[in-house]
């Protein structure tokens, strides 16, 4: 068997990166749902989807506006955004767990609204960097987008298959009840 060409290695690298980032982003969404449920009220769970859409939408706009800058050194920017994504996951998780939120928040003062908006803005930061990684891959590998989308569609299956290993419970259905 011959060695893989640089283009084949680059495509495999992109597939692995997009699947790893997508899976970790899905896991972060689940974690964020739990944090919102414990720190706020359960009915604030809808904020997870909103934060995700905010971060990914902002990253798509960011990459679109500065596409020429990223085209020159695509792989370097993928590494940078991937590293920023990992750093932001750790830093944002610490912030979300330690950030002071009053138990009876009712949005009657400007301070409560600003505090809550800050909480949500910070929660969207990892989605921004993950979105940058995914958008860069999809933008600069347009000829293989269908293959990338197929890999992204397998991410929920991958997450469900990994769920029993992340729980101390023995029943498979119980392992899915985060």
How far apart (Å, rounded) are the C-alpha atoms in residues 74 and 156? 27
Helix (H, G, I), strand (E, B) or coil at 99: coil
Give the whole-angstrom CA distance, residue 6 versus residue 30: 36
What average pLDDT does the segment 52-60 reach?
Answer: 90
The pLDDT assigned to 85 comes to 95
Mean pLDDT of the 154-176 span: 54
Mean pLDDT for 121-137 is: 91
In Å, how far from its chain's centre is CA 30? 10
Q: Which residues contact 40 (CB under 8 A, 6 or more apart)?
A: 47, 101, 105
Tell whether the model's pLDDT for residue 80 goes beyond 90. yes
Q: Quote the pLDDT of residue 171.
A: 43
Tell me the pTM: 0.75
pLDDT at residue 29, rounded to an integer: 86
CA of residue 59 relative to chain centroid, distance: 11
CA–CA dist 54, 40 (Å, integer): 20
Structure tokens at 144: 């293989």
The three-state (H, E, C) secondary structure of 59-98, written as one string:
HHHHHHHCHHHHHHCHHHHHHHHHHHHHHHHHHHHHHHHH
Lowest mean pLDDT among 67-81, 104-118, 135-149, 153-167: 153-167
């Amino acid at each position: 068997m011959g060695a893989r060409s640089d283009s084949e290695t680059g495509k495999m690298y992109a597939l692995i990166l997009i699947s790893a980032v997508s899976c970790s982003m899905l896991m972060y969404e689940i974690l964020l749902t739990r944090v919102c449920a414990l720190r706020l009220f359960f009915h604030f769970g809808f904020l997870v989807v909103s934060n995700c859409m905010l971060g990914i939408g902002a990253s798509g706009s960011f990459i679109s506006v500065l596409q020429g800058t990223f085209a020159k050194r695509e792989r370097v920017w993928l590494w940078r955004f991937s590293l920023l994504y990992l750093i932001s996951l750790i830093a944002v998780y610490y912030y979300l767990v330690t950030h002071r939120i009053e138990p009876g928040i009712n949005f009657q003062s400007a301070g409560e609204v600003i505090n809550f908006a800050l909480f949500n803005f910070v929660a969207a930061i990892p989605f921004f960097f993950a979105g940058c990684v995914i958008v860069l891959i999809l933008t600069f590998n347009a000829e293989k987008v269908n293959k990338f989308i197929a890999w992204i569609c397998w991410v929920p299956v991958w997450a469900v298959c990994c769920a029993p290993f992340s729980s101390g419970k023995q029943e498979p259905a119980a392992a899915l009840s985060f």
